[in-house]
Amino acid sequence: MKYILFKLSLLDLDVHGYSFLNTQTNTDFIFVDLLPAKNGEEQTIQFLLEVVEILTNYIRKTFDRSTKVLDFHHPHQLLEGMEGFNLELSDQDTLKYGVRTGHPRFFNQLSTGLDIVGLAGEWLTSTANTNMFTYEIAPVFVLMEQLTLKKMREIIGWPDGEGDGIFSPGGAISNMYSVMIARYKFFPEVKTKGMAAAPRLVLFTSEHSHYSIKKASAALGFGTENLILLNTDERGRVIPADLEAKVIEAKQKGYVPMFVNATAGTTVYGAFDPINEIADICEKYNIWLHVDGAWGGGLLMSRKHRHKLNGVERANSVTWNPHKMMGVPLQCSAILVRERGLLQGCNSMCAGYLFQPDKQYDVTYDTGDKAIQCGRHVDIFKFWLMWKAKGTIGFEQHIDKCLDLSAYLYNKIKNREGYEMVFNGEPQHTNVCFWYIPPSLRGLPDSEERWERLHKVAPKIKAMMMESGTTMVGYQPQGDKVNFFRMVISNPAATRSDIDFLTEEIERLGHDL
């Protein structure tokens, strides 16, 4: 047998354990699954151990602040080495040119950090390589999901944790579920007859809410024009009076208000919509209330901060992403529904060829028909393992610590020369939104020219930051506000010294702009 040696040099190390037979006629030969060879088993284990050595070295470096957050290259530069599926190229660059999202100074996304227990859970999950389709093929994971969703519903405050739910591939899909379920609740005949069976339905969400509500409106056949945007106060929170006025206006036009999304933790400002006041209006007009807690849901684990979601127990459905504020590895998002039966009713197609009713166990545990997916990735185990390891109190400590850090940043810069806050007052979540004003702009009057020049500052600083690879933080415009930095902290590895480093870095890079 002749082997071709495959050079799996993922990082700095070369792994020579992987080989395969290029031509093979014996149909009983096991290709590369157990690595082939007389001592295939040993080669397999050796190969995996070498991979793990690469990965643990990567992890070591990620947590070392002297390591760069990224080694930036433009697309065309990386593509040079990847074109044509060339066997000789590019594996070695996968981790090298990636972004270290677990680095203590990576603040760019809502999901940051690298939880080691969660990581171990993912490694186990991928080794088990099953899916959440039926109890038959994932008995333990299906039960873990059920128990965990119940626990989450208890924390929301629904009596005895009653209700339903499912893990979905991210907050956008979870939010899409909420709109589908609401429609099924009020107009179940849409499932069979389509949108023609319903009157003109309108949905409401804040102008600061996540774009997935808009994507759902388009995808599900409502149309984005039937998604009515609500005004917010200067902190980015829905103004309940505006909601009621728009509901009344819609009804006067003959439309049917069906769905309101309240955001618990907006993407940019980290604002929490006033759920109780919104719930009052929803109850008055018989409208489905969804709470998008993809980002802010984690605060329910904190006795100190959960009051920001007061009223969440009045919601009909809640999106909550443990992969954001709770540090669970991507992907881990739950859609939770207060009324049992709707999720099943909305999505089930009772395909007997997939869900056999005459199996030997209680087939109500087969969750597949509730989902819009068929095969479904196992997202529960890493979360289950982390929860058991940290306990609820561990999540609480993590969340409190991140919010303390953001308060530290806010207090540090709110009156500091060269900084201007995008809105006043303590942040509700870990989002701290600010402009850095380079010395050259500090004397300028409040003019259009000043704002135009300021608009270009954050992108310039960000570009230099990425080139130097020292830290990463996001920026964006919002409404009539020109580009500003949005600092978010969900990384458990971050400390006050990293916050200090960020401001020093912004000042260093932005000083001469």
Residues 276-305 touching a second copy, rule: CB under 8 A, are none
The Cα–Cα gap between 133 and 10 comes to 33
Q: Specify the stretch interacting with a second copy by CB under 8 A; choose among 335-343, 353-361, 418-426, 437-445.
A: 353-361
Q: Specify the stretch interacting with a second copy by CB under 8 A; choose among 41-49, 240-248, 255-263, 503-511.
A: 41-49
The dihedral of CA 208, 209, 210, 214: what is its sign? Answer: negative
Contact between residue 369 and residue 355 where contact means Cβ atoms under 8 Å apart: yes
Total residues interacting with a second copy, rule: CB under 8 A: 176
Name which position in 103, 105, 107, 141 contacts a second copy (CB under 8 A): 141
Nearest to a second copy of 351, 444 (CB atom): 351
Peptide bond into 331 cis (omega under 30): yes
Name which position in 205, 212, 316, 344 contacts a second copy (CB under 8 A): 212
Residue type, 266: T
Containing H/E element for 327?
A: none
Chain-centre distance of CA 125, in angstroms? 19
Nearest to a second copy of 248, 354 (CB atom): 354
Helix (H, G, I), strand (E, B) or coil at 168: strand
Smallest distance, Å, CB 467 to a second copy? 8
Nearest to a second copy of 125, 277 (CB atom): 125
Angle at 57 between CA 56 and CA 62, to 5 degrees: 95
Name which position in 108, 205, 319, 344 contacts a second copy (CB under 8 A): 108
- Among positions 415-454, residues that touch a second copy (CB under 8 A) are none
Smallest distance, Å, CB 244 to a second copy? 24
- Whole-angstrom CA distances from 301 to 100, 153, 202, 264, 307 are 27, 12, 33, 14, 11
Contact between residue 181 and residue 372 where contact means Cβ atoms under 8 Å apart: no
Q: Specify the stretch interacting with a second copy by CB under 8 A; choose among 252-260, 311-319, 329-337, 421-429.
A: 329-337
Name which position in 394, 418, 427, 438 contacts a second copy (CB under 8 A): 394
Smallest distance, Å, CB 284 to a second copy? 25
The Cα–Cα gap between 335 and 315 comes to 12
Residue type, 445: P
- Among positions 214-233, residues that touch a second copy (CB under 8 A) are 214-215, 217-226
Query: Is residue 66 a contact point for a second copy (CB under 8 A)?
Result: no
Smallest distance, Å, CB 213 to a second copy? 10
Smallest distance, Å, CB 42 to a second copy? 10
Q: Specify the stretch interacting with a second copy by CB under 8 A; choose among 100-108, 158-166, 240-248, 504-512.
A: 100-108
Angle at 490 between CA 486 and CA 495, to 5 degrees: 95
**Distance spanning both ends of the chain, measured CA to CA:** 64
Query: Is residue 197 a contact point for a second copy (CB under 8 A)?
Result: yes
Query: Is residue 48 a contact point for a second copy (CB under 8 A)?
Result: yes
Q: Is 415 exposed, middle or buried (0-12, 13-18, 19+ CB in 10 A)?
A: exposed
| Tokens representing residue 507 in the block | 């000042």
